[in-house]
Structure 1
């Protein structure tokens, strides 16, 4: 399990490849500065080598341009997929000082934000995928309370009762361990990233 812990945020990520495949078609990247946390999850179409190459191209673009705003990062991600297989892509940035999430997604990646007051926010993604062709992005902004939690995952996971999973005083690490133990699927690439804002 990959993780990042710093003053403002704690994050855990886990990934499994489709049964029988060496390479996972999902890729992700996250990093934090003193000002923001940025995260991308890309699910390459299909599985295996070409799906992996497509999702890795997105991750490379985000690593390079993560200091830019979310709209620009999505544009760079789309450009990186020209002549590749295509990918569902979700990018979000958390601005610590402004207590704001900025979120954009094309394709079937799911994102949930659970506030410490019990409100569950679930932005609807734009259908389709990025492939280098011109694309409309739907970027949304959400404010968050201290101790909010978020969960983002590729379609290799199917959850029943997301609210129950994120609710309560469980630390992000315990939620991640619960997902690994009880929500694994082997018939698709699967990735989740769970975090808690401190």
Structure 2
């Protein structure tokens, strides 16, 4: 499944595939934009199949309902909602237009690459753990930018080569870049969710 979303300022393109043999993908994602900010998330439910999908959807519904909250508060709300569920790993990106700043928060092994103002790729270090109602630690990163910012988020069902990482600041469009990465992820034997975004 692919999805292209043209927003007010941030354009995104998404690729998602289901693990062979399963009926549903255990990952989920969302994209929200208001006049003041852009918010997106990629979530990977633990395991695969229906149970993983249910946990991922619970997290996305929480973020959607409380989109104006800070990222730490969103993570805490998701954690509380996932008691007695399988749990999730997830990453959230929020771009605040007035402040010209991207905030990244995550727990677990969702991979992220960020390029601000077409400069070198920054890869936040993943934090061990997952959300399932227990105590957790998360990582926050703040990336200021002047002209623009681009990013990639993907679940652990795929990898991105060093060469493809280096070309992120120079991509022609989010759709073209997503297609290039998705072509290489098609044969992965796992759920895959890939999101590419750029401030236009």
- Bin the TM-score by the shorter chain: over 0.9
**Equivalents in 2 of 1:60, 1:193: separation in Å?**
18
Whether the aligned pair in 2 keeps the contact of 1:156 and 1:185 (CA below 8 Å) is no
Quote the Cα distance in structure 2 between the aligned partners of 1:187 and 1:33. 36
Give the whole-Å Cα distance in 2 for the aligned partners of 1:20 and 1:96. Answer: 42
- For residues 171 and 25 of structure 2, the distance between their equivalents in structure 1, rounded to whole angstroms, comes to 32
Q: Number of aligned pairs?
A: 198
| Counterpart position of 2:102 | 101
When normalised by structure 2's length, the TM-score is: 0.93
**Separation in structure 2 between the aligned mates of residue 41 and residue 30 of structure 1, nearest angstrom:** 9
Q: Hey, what does 1:170 align to over in structure 2?
A: 172
Does the CA contact (< 8 Å) of 1:8 and 1:197 recur in 2?
Answer: yes
**Residue 185 and residue 109 in structure 1: after superposition, are their counterparts in 2 closer, same or farther (change >3 A)?**
farther
Gaps of 5+ in 2: none
Q: CA deviation at 1:135?
A: 1.7
Question: For the Cα contact (< 8 Å) 1:104–1:125, is it kept in 2?
Answer: no
Corresponding residue number in structure 1 for 2:139: 138
CA RMSD of aligned residues (A): 1.4
Residue among 164, 182, 185 paired with 2:184: 182
Q: Structure 1 runs of 4+ off > 3 angstroms?
A: none
- What TM-score does the superposition give when structure 1 sets the normalisation length? 0.94
Give the structure 2 partner of residue 70 of structure 1. 71
Q: Give the unaligned 5+ runs of structure 1.
A: none
